[in-house]
Structure 1
């Protein structure tokens, strides 16, 4: 069991987007329509939040929603007023993640995990692994099958990991690991998971949903 003082310093950040039709999950609009794609964004964010809440039953983790689109009031109306919300701000994905990490480490956080909402296979057990491993290595990565990553965990701010990365390509994970090697960072991989970004990926979400219905 982790020391109680340390568990108070564990922080998790969810990157998501307000589910406004036409502005989210746009690559799925041909298959689902703009409203259907927005509904999928809403459902996948709620699924991710549920998994984090399950994690919080196991270990003490603070939570923050970093959102794009919408606004504070819309986010609160959607997910509730008891969560902490921050706008992602300007810049590419790397700049936005680096900003959220800097803010967290400037506060009380000692171990920070960032996740998105595109990998429905990400569950509370994998999240617990991430926090467990970041106590022993510099960097934890959750590889996405498309060549990106669905999770990154750090125990100190390392801005180099978020610079000169070709975000949105199949090179993201490898470029990040290359930088880690140059910086002589120790790292750990979590199980690889699939994103749901394109019409061909929708069966992944459907399978997860069917499994959850059976469990609940």
Structure 2
């Protein structure tokens, strides 16, 4: 068994957006409306946070929420004062993830995992697996079925992984892996999972709500 001094400092970063109607989950607005799409964003973020809190019951992992939209006060009013919040800042997704990783490693973290809130199948077991894999690999990726990734984990900052990526396309995962191979970065994969971005993806969320969250009350998932 590892001594406490040998256990790496683990940090998990959630990337999310403040659920302002009309500015989040825009591809679902034709189906759900602006309020419905914002509510889905809110519910999936709350569920993701709940899964990280489950992870924290068993593992010493620090949590940080990197947000876009809204402001610190709105985030605290929404998700509470117990979480650490930081704006994602400027730049494309690659720059924002790179910045968050730089800050985490600079603060002394040794294993850092970033997830979004679009993939509600990410649970505490998957997160545990991601950190376990970082004992053996420099890079852990959770492939999304649409060709992106729902999770990236690193034990050192590798800036090249976040440059010259066609974010938001089906090429993201493959481009990232190609860079890792070129740099001889050891890497591994978690199970492929589906994001919820389009109307045809909504049954995935409904199944998770029915199985893990409980019941719908007034059209909202109660956690």
- C-alpha deviation, 1:4, in angstroms: 2.3
Aligned-partner Cα distance in 2 for 1:21–1:6: 46
What is the total number of aligned residue pairs between the two structures?
216
Gaps of 5+ in 2: 216-222
- C-alpha deviation, 1:3, in angstroms: 4.0
Does residue 1:203 correspond to 2:203, yes or no?
A: yes
Tell me the equivalent position of 2:97: 97
Aligned-residue CA RMSD (Å): 1.4
Q: Aligned runs of 1:71-82 on 2, under 5 Å?
A: 71-82=71-82
Q: Alpha carbons of 1:8 and 1:133: their partners in 2 closer, same or farther (altered >3 Å)?
A: closer
Instruction: Say if 1:64 and 1:83, in contact at 8 Å, map to a contact too.
Output: yes
Q: Aligned runs of 1:1-216 on 2, under 5 Å?
A: 2-7=2-7, 9-213=9-213
TM-score normalised to the size of structure 2? Answer: 0.94
3-state SS of paired residue (1:63): strand
Instruction: Say if 2:196 and 2:204, in contact at 8 Å, map to a contact too.
Output: yes
- C-alpha deviation, 1:195, in angstroms: 0.3
Aligned-partner Cα distance in 1 for 2:176–2:159: 11
TM-score normalised to the size of structure 1? Answer: 0.97
Instruction: Say if 2:8 and 2:111, in contact at 8 Å, map to a contact too.
Output: no
Instruction: Say if 1:7 and 1:60, in contact at 8 Å, map to a contact too.
Output: no
- C-alpha deviation, 1:190, in angstroms: 0.3
3-state SS of paired residue (1:44): helix
Instruction: Say if 1:119 and 1:194, in contact at 8 Å, map to a contact too.
Output: yes
